[in-house]
Amino acid sequence: MTVETQTKTKHQIIEEFIQASLPKYQALALDIHEHPEVSNYEVYSSQVLVDQLLAEGFDVKKDVAGHHTGFDARYKSGKPGPTLSFLAEYDALPGIGHACGHNLFGNYSALAASALKQVIDEVGGEIRVYGTPGEEGGENGSAKGSFVREGFFEDVDAALCIHPGHRYSKTSTGLANDPVDINFYGRASHAAGAPEKGINALEAVIQVFNSINALRLHLPKDVNIHGVITNGGVAANVVPDFASARFYLRAANRSTLNEVYAKVENIVKAAALATGATYEFGLFQNSVDDIIVTDSFDELFFSHAASSGVPVEEIVETKKQSLGSSDVGNVSQVIPTIQPTVSISDNYIAGHSIEFKAAARSEKGLNSIGIAANLLAKTALDLLEQPELLEKIKKDHQASLAKGN
């Protein structure tokens, strides 16, 4: 039997498994869509995926990396070989639900890993699925940062995942993001009868906003700072003794963002000094790093487009830069990582919208699970079977990392 025939046979095994399993995973995606849960409260959604991976024969640990809705699923063949990790997301957005399609995202990775498991005993190596909560941020959010910090990728050769989108496109560079909370503490007093006795915490917050607006002109064009007042006092006739704000600080790379972080912290210090308030300033969740793109990894992924049912006319060839952020960036800083997109809509849809939420449970959205799983599993199979290809991708990743964004 030739190598070509062996590879084709493995592809057939993968394809047939995905086709037979697709209705089951589509039902899981709908189930998760109907039970939206926000960052680190994805109790139902994570258990749905854990139960399925257990049924597929994976060993699964829950409550990992400091996240009670995180999980670590593994299947190790009896032969030596690379270790690959599929990344799974399953959190929803507050208020709107699954308007980023993470009900699909998690199932893309779970089905791909399960399909690859059908051939890995022959090929060798290890498959992992990391359940990473809170990609959208929030309480204890952006769990991939925790997985990196806790060493979950130290013995992993490459990471793979796919995000649903409007078109099929390559991994895009996302911005580094430091999500910060700012709290000011003043002294309450009657706002008309004895204002001189008060220390106005709200004035400190307002000064922060004004100073950041003054700073914008002197920041690199890739920097984006946006925030909201989360507490501005309780009554107009009482000097606010507490006020707070939440900001996202973003930049194209970590080194620039570290400088921005320091500038904003100085603004907070100055506002406290000017008003007499005291302050707290810092991250309210994991920081998020910019995404390092490894072009050869994406090229390998899209080499399987035709055999996986991807319409050629829907593939976007140009490389994109996302103005958003994803904790996939944290993983990409340590190992080669891909997060291309697959299409779930024939028409343009904005992320985090009602239209995207509808597309995430549409016929095209549900059918994308089969396409995504085929693409991921076949790409991973290439890495397991071709050590020289994996080494090239690792070297390309190091070159991209050295170059930076």
pLDDT tens digits along 5-38: 455 789 999 999 999 999 999 999 999 999 999 9
3-173+290-403 and 176-283: identical CATH topology: no
Domain boundaries, the chain: 3-173+290-403, 176-283
pLDDT, position 37: 98
76 close to 126: Cβ distance less than 8 angstroms:
yes
Residues 89, 91, 93, 98: is their CA dihedral positive or negative? Answer: positive
End-to-end CA distance of the chain, in Å? 45
CATH number of 3-173+290-403: 3.40.630.10
Per residue, the 3-state secondary structure of 86-148, as one string, reads: EEECCCCECCCECCCCHHHHHHHHHHHHHHHHHHHHHHCCEEEEEECCCCCCCCCCCHHHHHH
Q: What pLDDT is attached to residue 7?
A: 54
pLDDT at 6 (0 to 100): 54
- Is pLDDT at 256 greater than 90 in this prediction? yes
Q: What is the mean pLDDT of residues 126-132?
A: 98
pLDDT mean across residues, the chain: 96
Nearest CA to 328 out of 159, 78, 109, 118 is that of 159
Output the pLDDT for position 1.
39
Q: Does residue 4 carry a pLDDT above 90? A: no
pLDDT tens digits along 336-372: 999 999 999 999 999 999 999 999 999 999 999 999 9
Structure tokens at 125: 């190596």
pLDDT of 324: 87
Q: Stretch 111-121: mean pLDDT, rounded?
A: 98
Confidence of residue 312 (pLDDT cuts 50, 70, 90): confident
Share of the chain above pLDDT 70, in %: 98
Q: Classify 176-283 by CATH class.
A: alpha beta
